[in-house]
Chains A and B, each alone.
Chain A
Amino acid sequence: MNQNPLLSVVDLHKTLIGNHILQGINLTVAQAEIHALMGGNGAGKSTLIKCLSGYWSIDKGSIKVNGAALQLGAKQIAFVQQDLGLIQSLSVAENISLGVGYQTGSFGNIRWREMNAAAADLLAGLGHSGIDPRAEIGRLNLVQRTAVAIARATQGLKVGAKLLVLDEPTAALPSTEIGALFETLERLRATGIGMIYVSHHPSEVFRLCDRISVLREGKLIATKNTKETSEAQIVELMLGRTLQKTVKTPGQKGQQTAAPVLSLTGVCGQKIKDITLTIGKGEVVGLTGLQGSGCTELAEIIFGAQSCEAGKMVLDGQPVVFAHPAEAVAAGVGMVTEDRHGNGSFAEASLGENITATDLRRFFRNGWMTGTAEAAEVDGLVADFKVQPPHGQRRFSSFSGGNQQKAILAKWMRLNPRLLICDQPDIGVDIGSKNVIYAALRDAAAKGAAVIVISNQHDDLEAICDRVLVMRAGRIVAELSGADATEHKISLATIGTQVQVKELT
């Protein structure tokens, strides 16, 4: 075995737009090691990875792969980006082949059969033989797409690289699918490949990784052997202070006796069937399920973004049918969408403009948009939600994920919604921001709103929800409240009864 580390980063510095983002990073990754890189949003993880990929040049220090200096285009390191970097309109095999080039026949024609077979082999090797190499990426679910991205990256590894960087590969995966991903990664580790595994979630890291490095404010705070540390210690290192778990406000439960804010009876959509539920004033209700279980569709039907095919919906005692989100918003419903970048924000507008877009009339006085009134409200909300840096006039896309999500929540909170639906408010959000977001949701409930939180983080649901509804294949299959709403029971209900039986025997 080669005693040299696979990767060694020594005293790496990087300054971007006047900010000293990486301040002397030292990091090594050994062969057959899965090395976790953790840190809150803005800690410098992305910048470090962009330095490794050669996207940014480095200001000072050195990066060596297998003892050789990092070279552009040398394919020394393989990457799986957070957004996976797949082309939606191309097939699985075509996407995989993009990495190393297409095999061509004697006339320069692509050898489709060989290409598809090679792709199928590669996927089977990762335990995903069910994916058709001819299928369009757009038709696959997120789990399958992640597998394709990993297959493409590992194919690059065959060419010679022995180091794989995974940037939050579980960000969009339901918790029950994470195990399958980990199996794949462990299989890769057994072949001697070293990995950098970027994640926000201590629980994942402790299941998978050999060592953990924690970044905070551009410095590498510590590197620990997983066996010699604890989740609490790592979280403490990430935050630089002791973590306070979001505390469930006592006295919130049992308020369902008050008139319900929302009740659905027999609601059906394209994939959801016969949904009946009631949410009371001041209640935080969790909604969870595997990929494709219908949580998002249910949220969009309530919000009027998808059409309701059958059933009855009553809001504040009034029967309603929302044909367009505008009607839902007018009735006091807000929705934080799952896809923050795709349909939840205006990347090129300022953070402030994103916040105030929900209601501009209040700044329109005497025939003018009054900038001062708008700025004042934005400043107030930016302070309330602890947005960092606290500059509302900056471009939305320049903020980190957690701060973007705080702003999106702020834009609905300023309307004092009767009903607020949050679809995966924790995706790509660091622990500090997550606590701010969850505290704000509890606060909204305390003021009398009804809140629906869709999430795959079952520990978080346990912490903040009064009640958790579990969906499977378009139906609500379990309702857990009070002492029953624990992470363990939620996870079991999500997977379904067969697994429970398996556990008993």
Chain B
Amino acid sequence: MCCSQPLSPISSQRWIPDQFATLANLHTTVSSQYVLAILAIGVLLPPIAGEFDVSLAMVFTTTMLIVAKLVADFGWSLPGGAAVGLLVATLLGCTTGIIVTLTRASSLIVSLGMMILLRGASEALTEGRSIIVGGNAGEVLCGLSNDVAYGALPFVYLCAIALIVWYVTEMTPLGRKWYAVGGSAESARLLGLPSDRLKIGAFAAGGLLAGLAALLQLSASSAATSSIGAGFLLSAIASVFLGAIAFRIGTFNVLGPLTAIFALAVSITGIGMLGAPNWIDGVFYGSALIVSVAAVQYFWGRGTT
């Protein structure tokens, strides 16, 4: 089955109460979060190195549009289009990183500028329409996110990506250096670590992951529009912060946002099934973020420093 329903950052699918808590429901709830989860892992990387990149949701959108346009409008092969897409995504992250390290400007502002710039560019790419990838390439794309029983392929991708990022951040010197730069860029520099290059690397890796999330989204929906990434932005960033309260308290880590995304998706779906209105999503997500961050600050932040 090719899933063509648009994915939303927080599941907007509703169930009637008699379908409560079936395995199928859980699966549907969870599977709509894969793209967000991969994007969130990308959003996580620059903060580990002490910077933020809010443009990644637009990097995600831009990548989708480029791949879709190359394949659908210019007749490129899918692998060719995907490779160019990933390259562009990585370069976009890299560019933000280079500007931030060269100018010492706030990464929040630079990436905000990048985000707005990319939004304009993606509107130019689509001219307001959605680009549909059909034909042979479309079928191959759909096959990439095929369900095989309950072990959906996207789940496998997510696990693989999460595992690789976990390995790099927790098990290699590179990860430790990223955390060091995030702890104090100047201390890291005076320790002999190339702080700037490490930061740029984290931005580039964030871009690459946004690109991978874009490919998965394209394979799920077979169509790209310029508006698709906007909804992901806040959820991805929020999950990164929310995730910093779990596993390694006060530290950005891979398992954190994943847990946050899936726990919230399940609870919000549950609330939805009890008949709560749509706006509950936002209120619930926002409160969860504030309460948990405040709790950590209160119980952990004070007293031990």
Give me 30 A-to-B residue pairs in the complex whose CB atoms sit less than 8 angstroms apart, sorted by A's number.
A305-B189, A305-B190, A324-B189, A325-B190, A325-B192, A326-B194, A329-B191, A329-B192, A330-B192, A342-B187, A343-B187, A343-B189, A344-B187, A344-B190, A345-B184, A346-B180, A347-B183, A347-B184, A348-B183, A353-B176, A353-B180, A357-B180, A360-B173, A369-B170, A369-B172, A369-B173, A395-B304, A397-B305, A398-B304, A398-B305
CB <8 Å contact, B304 and A337: no
Given contacts A346-B184, A398-B305, list 11 more A-B pairs with CB under 8 A: A325-B189, A325-B191, A325-B192, A326-B194, A346-B187, A357-B176, A360-B177, A367-B172, A369-B171, A395-B304, A398-B304
Distance to closest chain B CB from A50 (angstroms): 13
Distance to closest chain A CB from B293 (angstroms): 16
Distance to closest chain A CB from B145 (angstroms): 30
> When each residue 327-368 of chain A gets 1 if its CB lies under 8 Å from chain B and 0 otherwise, what string results?
011100001010000111111110001000110110110011
The answer for the CA separation of A360 and B171 in the assembled complex, in Å, is 11
The answer for the CA separation of A497 and B195 in the assembled complex, in Å, is 44
Residue B285 lies at the interface, judged by CB distance under 8 Å to chain A: no
Residue A74 lies at the interface, judged by CB distance under 8 Å to chain B: no
Which residues of A268-313 have CB atoms within 8 Å of chain B's CB atoms? 303, 305
CB <8 Å contact, A345 and B187: yes
Distance to closest chain B CB from A75 (angstroms): 24
CB <8 Å contact, A360 and B176: yes
CB <8 Å contact, B172 and A364: yes
Distance to closest chain A CB from B305 (angstroms): 6
Given A325-B189, A328-B192, A358-B192, decide whether A349 and B305 contact each other with a Cβ distance below 8 A.
Answer: no
> When each residue 179-199 of chain B gets 1 if its CB lies under 8 Å from chain A and 0 otherwise, what string results?
110011011111111100000
- Please name the residue on chain A nearest to B251 by beta carbon: A348
CB <8 Å contact, A349 and B179: yes
The answer for the CA separation of A349 and B178 in the assembled complex, in Å, is 12
Residue A159 lies at the interface, judged by CB distance under 8 Å to chain B: no
Contact of A17 among B177, B189, B190, B303 (CB under 8 A): B303
Residue B134 lies at the interface, judged by CB distance under 8 Å to chain A: no
Given A360-B177, A395-B304, decide whether A343 and B184 contact each other with a Cβ distance below 8 A.
Answer: yes
Give how many A-B residue pairs fall within 8 Å (CB-CB).
73
Residues on A with C-beta less than 8 A from B190 are: 303, 305, 325, 335, 337, 343-344
Distance to closest chain B CB from A361 (angstroms): 6
Given A349-B183, A357-B176, decide whether A17 and B304 contact each other with a Cβ distance below 8 A.
Answer: yes
Residues on A with C-beta less than 8 A from B177 are: 360
Which residues of A313-331 have CB atoms within 8 Å of chain B's CB atoms? 324-326, 328-330
The answer for the CA separation of A335 and B177 in the assembled complex, in Å, is 18
Residues on A with C-beta less than 8 A from B189 are: 305, 324-325, 343
The answer for the CA separation of A245 and B194 in the assembled complex, in Å, is 40
The answer for the CA separation of A19 and B101 in the assembled complex, in Å, is 44
> When each residue 22-46 of chain A gets 1 if its CB lies under 8 Å from chain B and 0 otherwise, what string results?
0000000000000000000000000
Residues on B with C-beta less than 8 A from A363 are: 173
Distance to closest chain A CB from B277 (angstroms): 41
Distance to closest chain A CB from B82 (angstroms): 28
The 4 A-B residue pairs with the shortest CB-CB distance in the complex, in nearest-first order: A329-B192, A346-B183, A360-B173, A343-B186
Residues on B with C-beta less than 8 A from A346 are: 180, 183-184, 187-188
Distance to closest chain B CB from A14 (angstroms): 14
The answer for the CA separation of A92 and B187 in the assembled complex, in Å, is 29
The answer for the CA separation of A397 and B187 in the assembled complex, in Å, is 14
- Of the listed residues B176, B177, B186, B191, the one surrounded by the most CB atoms of chain A closer than 10 A to its CB is B191
Given A346-B183, A349-B183, A397-B305, decide whether A361 and B173 contact each other with a Cβ distance below 8 A.
Answer: yes
- Please name the residue on chain B nearest to A371 by beta carbon: B171
Given A348-B250, A349-B179, A357-B180, decide whether A326 and B192 contact each other with a Cβ distance below 8 A.
Answer: yes
The answer for the CA separation of A323 and B54 in the assembled complex, in Å, is 32
- Of the listed residues A305, A325, A329, A342, the one surrounded by the most CB atoms of chain B closer than 10 A to its CB is A325
Which residues of B156-172 have CB atoms within 8 Å of chain A's CB atoms? 170-172
- Of the listed residues A357, A361, A367, A398, the one surrounded by the most CB atoms of chain B closer than 10 A to its CB is A357
The answer for the CA separation of A357 and B250 in the assembled complex, in Å, is 20
- Please name the residue on chain B nearest to A333 by beta carbon: B192
Residues on A with C-beta less than 8 A from B176 are: 353, 357, 360, 369
- Please name the residue on chain B nearest to A412 by beta carbon: B191
Given A325-B189, A342-B186, decide whether A364 and B194 contact each other with a Cβ distance below 8 A.
Answer: no
Residues on B with C-beta less than 8 A from A369 are: 170-173, 176
Residues on A with C-beta less than 8 A from B180 are: 346, 349, 353, 357
Residues on B with C-beta less than 8 A from A347 are: 183-184
- Of the listed residues A305, A337, A343, A395, the one surrounded by the most CB atoms of chain B closer than 10 A to its CB is A343
The answer for the CA separation of A113 and B183 in the assembled complex, in Å, is 42
CB <8 Å contact, A326 and B250: no
Residues on B with C-beta less than 8 A from A353 are: 176, 180
The answer for the CA separation of A330 and B190 in the assembled complex, in Å, is 12
Residues on A with C-beta less than 8 A from B183 are: 346-349
Which residues of A358-395 have CB atoms within 8 Å of chain B's CB atoms? 358, 360-361, 363-364, 367-369, 395
The answer for the CA separation of A330 and B192 in the assembled complex, in Å, is 8
Given A330-B192, A353-B176, decide whether A368 and B184 contact each other with a Cβ distance below 8 A.
Answer: no
The answer for the CA separation of A360 and B170 in the assembled complex, in Å, is 12
The answer for the CA separation of A407 and B170 in the assembled complex, in Å, is 23
CB <8 Å contact, B191 and A364: no
Residues on A with C-beta less than 8 A from B179 are: 349
Distance to closest chain B CB from A249 (angstroms): 29
The answer for the CA separation of A335 and B172 in the assembled complex, in Å, is 25
Distance to closest chain A CB from B12 (angstroms): 38
The answer for the CA separation of A358 and B183 in the assembled complex, in Å, is 15
Given A347-B183, A348-B183, A349-B179, decide whether A364 and B304 contact each other with a Cβ distance below 8 A.
Answer: no
The answer for the CA separation of A349 and B176 in the assembled complex, in Å, is 10
CB <8 Å contact, B303 and A364: no
The answer for the CA separation of A326 and B119 in the assembled complex, in Å, is 38
Distance to closest chain A CB from B133 (angstroms): 38
The answer for the CA separation of A369 and B177 in the assembled complex, in Å, is 12
Residues on A with C-beta less than 8 A from B170 are: 369
The answer for the CA separation of A416 and B243 in the assembled complex, in Å, is 40
The answer for the CA separation of A477 and B194 in the assembled complex, in Å, is 35
The answer for the CA separation of A335 and B192 in the assembled complex, in Å, is 10
- Of the listed residues B177, B189, B192, B303, the one surrounded by the most CB atoms of chain A closer than 10 A to its CB is B192
Which residues of B60-92 have CB atoms within 8 Å of chain A's CB atoms? none
Distance to closest chain A CB from B45 (angstroms): 18
CB <8 Å contact, B173 and A364: yes
The answer for the CA separation of A328 and B191 in the assembled complex, in Å, is 10
Distance to closest chain B CB from A451 (angstroms): 18
The answer for the CA separation of A346 and B190 in the assembled complex, in Å, is 12
- Please name the residue on chain B nearest to A368 by beta carbon: B171
Distance to closest chain A CB from B297 (angstroms): 14
> When each residue 392-406 of chain A gets 1 if its CB lies under 8 Å from chain B and 0 otherwise, what string results?
000101100000000
- Please name the residue on chain B nearest to A345 by beta carbon: B187
The answer for the CA separation of A349 and B181 in the assembled complex, in Å, is 11
- Please name the residue on chain A nearest to B183 by beta carbon: A346
Residues on A with C-beta less than 8 A from B191 are: 325, 329, 357-358, 411
Distance to closest chain A CB from B247 (angstroms): 16
